[in-house]
Amino acid sequence: MDVHCGSIQSTLLESEFFGHKRGAFTGAHADRQGLFLQANMGTLFMDEINNLPLDMQAKLLRVLQEAEIRPVGSDKSVQINVRIIAASSVPLKELVEKNLFRHDLFFRLFVYPIYIPDLNERGEDIQLLAKHFLDYYSKQQHKKVTAFHESIIDFMKCKKWDGNIRELENLVERLVALAPNDMSTITFETFPLDLQDEIKEFRNRQRYNTYSGSLKEQVQDFETQLLKKTLMDCNWNQSEAARRLNTSEKNIRYKMETLNIIKPASG
């Protein structure tokens, strides 16, 4: 059995974990077993245990020490035998030092610690995880997508995942939702607008990382991209582009001619 500690309202934590007796509080119309009793003789996985408030941490410590719980509204304790596995996205030791997590509970839980690096430290897992989420959401949403374009996998491996695996899962779910019904391979055109700037930056890095031209060619390529982008931002107003680039309008026209930059036909 598993529970996300951050998803339970603080006022309901005790009832959720320990259960309650009928009439224990408003709305308690019947006895209810808590998570500890439901997991009795088994395992309870407590995800994001760092979200537990200090008063609930003290009660959890007592459960671990005494191997018993007392449902809300009851005057009798109940013996339990539950193995606790706890996970935290924030190092608990740091929270202990900030007095946000009880040191005695920390050492009680710190029996067999397992450190799992975040996604930014294990890029080799990204392709497998992305494919897993792709298969799952494609089936859930009745889509035909079965693969990512190779360049997207490269982008995912270079991207900074502040939200760790959940951010990757959320992105894949969005991509599947945005994919046309007849699409089999996810491409960059499928990506949402809020990621287009990040994609553009990635593509520029890739181009310059693999560029083998001379210095003159690289400078020329940079000038072309800069001038073209500035003109587009200025709606192809040469006077405004000259002002932004701190040069003359005459020089803008000269560069457009030598770099073969042509304003697209309107329509």
Confidence bin at 245 (pLDDT 50/70/90): very high
CA distance 170 to 159: 14
Q: Tokens for 137?
A: 């959401």
**Mean pLDDT of the residues in the chain:** 90
Q: What is the pLDDT of residues 2-28, one digit of tens each?
A: 999 988 888 888 889 998 888 777 777
**Of 90-99, 101-110, 149-158, 257-266, the least confident:** 257-266
Question: Does the pLDDT value for residue 176 go beyond 90?
Answer: yes
Confidence bin at 203 (pLDDT 50/70/90): confident
Question: Does the pLDDT value for residue 79 go beyond 70?
Answer: yes
Q: What's the average model confidence in pLDDT over 197-224?
A: 76
Alpha helices (runs of H) in 44-85, residue ranges in sequence order: 54-66
Compute φ and ψ for 185, nearest 5 degrees: -130, 125
Q: How is domain 213-258 classified at the architecture level of CATH?
A: Orthogonal Bundle (1.10)
**Are the C-beta atoms of residues 152 and 190 closer than 8 Å to each other?**
no
Q: Which CATH superfamily is domain 2-109 in?
A: P-loop containing nucleotide triphosphate hydrolases (3.40.50.300)
- Do the two domains 2-109 and 119-204 of this chain adopt the same fold? no
Q: What's the average model confidence in pLDDT over 132-142?
A: 97
Per-residue confidence (pLDDT) for residue 173, from 0 to 100? 97
CA atoms within 13 A on the CB side of 216: 1
Q: What's the average model confidence in pLDDT over 234-248?
A: 93
Per-residue confidence (pLDDT) for residue 208, from 0 to 100? 63
CA distance 109 to 84: 8
CA distance 81 to 79: 7
Most confident range (mean pLDDT) of 6-10, 172-176, 199-203 is 172-176
Confidence bin at 71 (pLDDT 50/70/90): confident
Compute the C-alpha angle 261/265/267, nearest 5°: 150
Residue 181's Cβ-count burial label (10 Å; 0-12, 13-18, 19+) is exposed
Which of the two residues, 267 and 262, has the higher pLDDT score? 262
Domain-by-domain residue ranges, the chain? 2-109, 119-204, 213-258
CA torsion 104-105-111-117 (nearest 10°) is: -120
Top-tier CATH class for 119-204: mainly alpha
In the chain the first and final C-alpha atoms are separated, in Å, by 61
**Are the C-beta atoms of residues 67 and 80 closer than 8 Å to each other?**
yes
